[in-house]
Homo-oligomer: A and B are copies of this chain.
């Protein structure tokens, strides 16, 4: 395997910026590609904020700040961005046809040895592996929130080579993250599969009228000794996202309980009660009941 020196981040949104920081902080020459100068200008400011936050929490030294930023460059010209790139991390919109088209272009422009990875959160790599033109050198490399945790899923599709998996694993370690190696393609990364099962089970209890969201959260927090329960977590993720995933699975599995859970979430979405970011979801923000010291006792008003 060719040594990785230059990393190309495709898509300059929230995730692309965070991944660009990681690779630049680890010493890789990092390029960010996006279609507009405006997007790249925004991303530049975003990366600067990420770097400042990293200094603030001690992830990098203040003296490293300048060097990290100097290793990041921006491109609207894909041919220039792709030249001599050794490793691609894609974080563009969740459309398999779009992803396939962009990887197809990159395949023409990148060196033959370059490894292609997608940070897709909901698609399976096999959906556009063929379109990449180099399926053996392609896999999903999925980040959670690298400012908070270090877990990274590596998910192959049936055509991903062992060498590619090993090279991605080494790359993940080089950027100081923790690789979770998936041995086969799966509808859901490792953490996400468990998390959605937990949320689905919590939703089922509330949608069936077995217990209130507050009591469901109390149970989880009380027994697990955790500071937040499933409905509090859903408010953090955003109820539109939780609804979309629930509704998608309801349509795939045709399971009546999944449909009931999606229907239970829908009014929140329709009324714009999307969770913490909108001020209301299962709880009211910025001071949700679940965060109050007496929440477990159940003595405060709900909200």
Q: Which residues of B contact A108 (CB under 8 A)?
A: none
Given A178-B222, A222-B151, are A193 and B201 neighbors across the interface (CB < 8 Å)?
A: yes
Q: Compute how far the CA of A272 lies from the CA of B32 in the bound complex, rounded to whole angstroms.
A: 54
**B149, B180, B194: the one within 8 Å of A202 (CB):** B194
Q: Mark A59-82, 1 if CB is under 8 A from B, else 0.
A: 000000000000000000000000
Q: Mark A197-230, 1 if CB is under 8 A from B, else 0.
A: 1101110110011111001101110111110001
Q: Verify B296–A223 contact, CB threshold 8 A.
A: no
**B190, B197, B202: the one within 8 Å of A219 (CB):** B190
Q: Check A244 for interface membership: any CB of B closer than 8 A.
A: no
Given A208-B184, A211-B180, A215-B180, are A144 and B194 neighbors across the interface (CB < 8 Å)?
A: no
Q: Check A179 for interface membership: any CB of B closer than 8 A.
A: yes
Q: Verify B181–A215 contact, CB threshold 8 A.
A: yes
Given A179-B298, A184-B209, A226-B226, are A216 and B198 neighbors across the interface (CB < 8 Å)?
A: no
Among A131-163, those with CB < 8 Å from B are 144, 149-151, 153
Q: Verify A182–B200 contact, CB threshold 8 A.
A: no
Nearest CB in chain B to that of A179: its residue: B298
Q: Compute how far the CA of A218 lies from the CA of B151 in the bound complex, rounded to whole angstroms.
A: 8
**B194, B201, B205, B212: the one within 8 Å of A230 (CB):** B194
Q: Compute how far the CA of A107 lies from the CA of B285 in the bound complex, rounded to whole angstroms.
A: 50
Q: Compute how far the CA of A209 lies from the CA of B149 in the bound complex, rounded to whole angstroms.
A: 24
Q: Verify B186–A208 contact, CB threshold 8 A.
A: yes
Taking the closest CB of chain B, its distance from the CB of A206, in whole angstroms, is: 10
Q: Check A271 for interface membership: any CB of B closer than 8 A.
A: no
Most chain B CB inside 10 Å of its own CB: which residue of A189, A194, A196, A212: A194
Q: Check A270 for interface membership: any CB of B closer than 8 A.
A: no
28 residue pairs bridging A and B, Cβ less than 8 Å apart:
A149-B222, A149-B223, A150-B296, A151-B218, A151-B219, A178-B218, A178-B296, A178-B297, A178-B298, A179-B298, A181-B211, A181-B215, A183-B211, A186-B205, A186-B208, A186-B210, A190-B205, A191-B220, A191-B222, A191-B224, A193-B204, A194-B198, A194-B201, A194-B205, A194-B219, A195-B223, A197-B197, A197-B201
For the complex with contacts A178-B222, A181-B215, A194-B201, 16 further pairs of A-B residues with Cβ separation under 8 Å are A149-B223, A150-B296, A151-B218, A178-B218, A181-B211, A183-B209, A184-B209, A184-B210, A186-B208, A186-B210, A189-B219, A190-B211, A191-B223, A193-B204, A194-B202, A196-B201
